[in-house]
Structure 1
Amino acid sequence: MISFFNRASIFSVIATCFFIPFSTAFTALFSTMAVLFWFLSGRFLNFPKILKNYPTALVSLLLFFLFIIGLLYSPAELSDALSNLKKYRELLFLPIVISLLDGRPGAKSNAINSFIAGCIFLMLVSFFMKFGIIPSDRYGNSLVYHITHSFFMALLAFWSAHRTADSKQYRYFWLCVTLAALANISYVAPGRIGMLVLIVLGLLFCTQRFSFRMQIAAVLILSGLCSALYYSSDNISSRINKAIAEVRAYEHEHGCSRTSMGMRLDWYIDCVTLFQKKPLFGYGTGGFAVAHDKLIKGTGVQRTDNPHNEYLFIAVQLGSVGLFLFLLLFFLALLKSSKMVRPDGWLLQGVVISMATGCLLNSFLYDSQQGHFFAFLAAVLLASSQRHSLTFFRTGENFRTISNKF
């Protein structure tokens, strides 16, 4: 029976990774099953060892406990505060998934393959909708909101580019996937956050794969590619021009900002004001909405339950203590990535950097799909950080080796 629960827990993790890019319902279902089988299999007994051996898991757990403490002094109704706490359950998933996968390197390959397959499925559905093969959904040419879609397309381009570099047998297949993901985010998906994450991940890829001399050439090529896409894609140019126009037209006068960027700037300024009033422990879990409502009373600022910036959101709720733990979570994961075998460490860097970038303009830890992505994929890579590199990467001459010859 224990053997069955162990297999079921691994299957649940793999299934969760597949559904993360396009289904919140199935992601919630299988992630819950993973926790259930974690208990039934007895893997929870190794939790103290996990927290000792994985500092990232410990910090994630501490941040979640801080959210629990935040319930005690939150001005929000208990039901609202608990609903807010539930949004951050991904902080629990990270150490639990590490506990499930610790010492099981084979599960890591399957989990990552499953996530990539989910991203490819999302991309194919998007193209089918674009060309009228299947009807468009309520989100347009995607199964998910455009911010979420573009984010996962940027990740797909980054991960498949690494596979292109390291795989000999399937190199051209992964090259086609990379180009298809770039085409999707450039000509189909309107999400600006995905475009930003794509640029950041592109720069990260250059630093990971090329020598310093080649990095300069790669950045120039990347800049030229961005320029070409800007002038050839109305999807990109119109979204960027709109963002620039909204920022230029912004004035912090309550009631004057109703654009996407204008509302965000209003909320960011309000967050700084709220943080200055309670800088140490903040307003408590779920306290942002209550505090912000009081601050904007009698003004024309748009009401919101989160400011679309995870750093400011946590800072207002949990103060500088919570913000420190959140930043420490990213820092420890990056620190560990620098000591991991390649390409595992590079992929973990991509997970952290993409999440950290997205959190500048959205509350990604608060959001279900991006939050699950960070918790599960970071855990999958961390859990086997002492193991050999992923089996689907073939040993061979990578871009860095080639570039060093020049």
Structure 2
Amino acid sequence: MAFWLGAGHYAQRWREVRDLPLARACLALLAWFMLATLWSPLPWPEALMGWWPYRKLLLLVLMLSILDEARWGWRMVYAFLAGFALLLLVSTAQGLGWLPLNRLRNPSAYTSHIAYSTMLAFAIWLCLWLSVRGGRLAWLWVGYATLAIVNLFFINTGRTGQAIFLAMLAMHMLQRWRWRGAIGAVVAVSVLSSALFAASPTFRARLLEGVADLEQQRAGQVNTSLAFRLEFWRTTLEIGARHPVLGGGMPSYQTEYAAVARARGLLGDRVSHNPHSEYLLIWTQAGLVGLALWLWLLWVQWRDSRRLREPANHLAQGLTVALALAALFNSSLFDNQDGHFFVLLGAALWTLGRIHPRA
């Protein structure tokens, strides 16, 4: 904020925001979240803290209004890859037993395995596109991508990142070959998944664990990761149905879920502080209006990403798919690491891909 204020030229900055649909969509969603604090069941200072995690959207708007040359976007992309390389190396060392696991008992360096796997999948996408561009560093991006793919499917325990990578692969084939790509996407993803299931003990274990969790949940046992999530989603739908249009206010979710938990005698991990779905979290707190604005933001991001210059258009489409998919199973905008990742990479890709009047 301080640097943005110090940059001056506010009229020019406003024109940048006004002329960019992505910035307008971010401000609309952020403004509605702020409005939703007015009917929160919590005191206003606490309600404001429920809005606070979404301030990242304002960061994206400010960055888009001030970054006026493609070189800044490239610098941000390279800085992300350089920083993430440290995470990748630490994670690989943890997977090989050279370093202890993190506090969550996962080989995901010093972050959560969900955020790590999401960033890992997109780092692979970035490196593959950078290698396609050629140049003297093509070998570096191929090596980076290879190490990252091995980590994603043989060391990493985050199913979100694995699903995102496979989805982006299918998206690429659809975009490149249209209807023929649809057939190829199904075949490629099926063959790759089968090969990974046979070759990777980690990938196979996570899939079998998911199947076992679902079977236990059907048997009435709620003591596994997926079973918890299914219960969270079902209860969240019940809560959201009480106030579907405007929502319960920011941040009503924890308060309302705690009340349901007390009424049903739910204890421990069965008391949800987060539904693990950005869509459900927004709906239950900001209603159908908030959900519509969130979907509009995703749509604008997808539509405008296709208008960017290459290779930013392909990279931005991958980022949009990653966000939309990750948000189904996690609160990817609300969460600190995931949310900042999507905002910062979004600013970088839109900066290097759009045509600036001042450039």
| Same-fold call, TM cutoff 0.5 | yes
Q: Does 1:373 align with 2:341?
A: yes
Instruction: List gaps (5 residues or longer) in structure 2.
Output: none
Hey, what does 1:269 align to over in structure 2? 234
In structure 2, give the amino acid aligned to 1:199: L
For residues 116-155 of structure 1, what are the alpha-carbon distances to aligned partners after superposition, in whole Å with 9 as ceiling and x for unaligned?
Answer: 2222221112112333444443244211111111111111
Secondary structure in 1 aligned to 2:217? Answer: coil
Contact 1:60–1:92, Cα closer than 8 Å, also in 2? yes
Hey, what does 1:324 align to over in structure 2? 292
Deviation at 1:345, TM superposition (A): 0.7
Hey, what does 1:126 align to over in structure 2? 91
Contact 1:38–1:100, Cα closer than 8 Å, also in 2? yes
For residues 249-269 of structure 1, what are the alpha-carbon distances to aligned partners after superposition, in whole Å with 9 as ceiling and x for unaligned?
Answer: 32496xx41211111111111
Secondary structure in 1 aligned to 2:263? Answer: coil
Q: 1:163 to 1:384 in 2, by over 3 A?
A: closer
Contact 2:197–2:204, Cα closer than 8 Å, also in 1? yes
Q: CA RMSD in A?
A: 2.1
Q: 1:128 to 1:298 in 2, by over 3 A?
A: same
Q: 1:351 to 1:146 in 2, by over 3 A?
A: same
* Alpha-carbon distance between aligned partners in 2 of 1:137 and 1:297, rounded to the nearest angstrom: 33
Aligned residues: 351
Hey, what does 1:143 align to over in structure 2? 110
Contact 2:159–2:206, Cα closer than 8 Å, also in 1? yes
Aligned partner of 1:46 among 5, 12, 28: 12
Aligned partner of 1:308 among 268, 276, 281: 276
Contact 2:71–2:352, Cα closer than 8 Å, also in 1? no
Q: Does 1:241 align with 2:245?
A: no
* Alpha-carbon distance between aligned partners in 2 of 1:129 and 1:150, rounded to the nearest angstrom: 15
After superposing the two structures, state which structure 1 stretch, 379-388 or 291-300, moved more: 379-388
Contact 2:73–2:347, Cα closer than 8 Å, also in 1? no
Deviation at 1:174, TM superposition (A): 1.7
Identity %, equivalent residues: 28
For residues 43-74 of structure 1, what are the alpha-carbon distances to aligned partners after superposition, in whole Å with 9 as ceiling and x for unaligned?
Answer: 54434212321111111112111111111110
Q: Does 1:351 align with 2:319?
A: yes
* Alpha-carbon distance between aligned partners in 2 of 1:75 and 1:214, rounded to the nearest angstrom: 50
* Alpha-carbon distance between aligned partners in 2 of 1:79 and 1:114, rounded to the nearest angstrom: 36
Q: Does 1:112 align with 2:77?
A: yes
In structure 2, give the amino acid aligned to 1:328: W
Q: Does 1:71 align with 2:37?
A: yes
Q: Does 1:88 align with 2:54?
A: yes
* Alpha-carbon distance between aligned partners in 2 of 1:76 and 1:304, rounded to the nearest angstrom: 18
Deviation at 1:236, TM superposition (A): 0.9
Instruction: List gaps (5 residues or longer) in structure 1.
Output: 1-34, 389-406
Aligned partner of 1:100 among 50, 55, 66: 66
Deviation at 1:112, TM superposition (A): 1.0
Hey, what does 2:199 align to over in structure 1? 232
For residues 248-292 of structure 1, what are the alpha-carbon distances to aligned partners after superposition, in whole Å with 9 as ceiling and x for unaligned?
Answer: 332496xx4121111111111112212221111100010111122
Q: Does 1:339 align with 2:304?
A: no
Q: Does 1:206 align with 2:170?
A: no
Contact 1:252–1:266, Cα closer than 8 Å, also in 2? no
Deviation at 1:223, TM superposition (A): 2.4
* Alpha-carbon distance between aligned partners in 2 of 1:385 and 1:336, rounded to the nearest angstrom: 10
The two structures have a TM-score, normalised by structure 1, of 0.81
In structure 1, give the amino acid aligned to 2:209: K
Aligned partner of 2:152 among 185, 193, 201: 185
In structure 2, give the amino acid aligned to 1:124: L
Deviation at 1:184, TM superposition (A): 0.2
Contact 2:72–2:351, Cα closer than 8 Å, also in 1? no
* Alpha-carbon distance between aligned partners in 2 of 1:37 and 1:341, rounded to the nearest angstrom: 28
Where do residues 268-287 of structure 1 align in structure 2 (5 Å cutoff)? 268-287=233-252
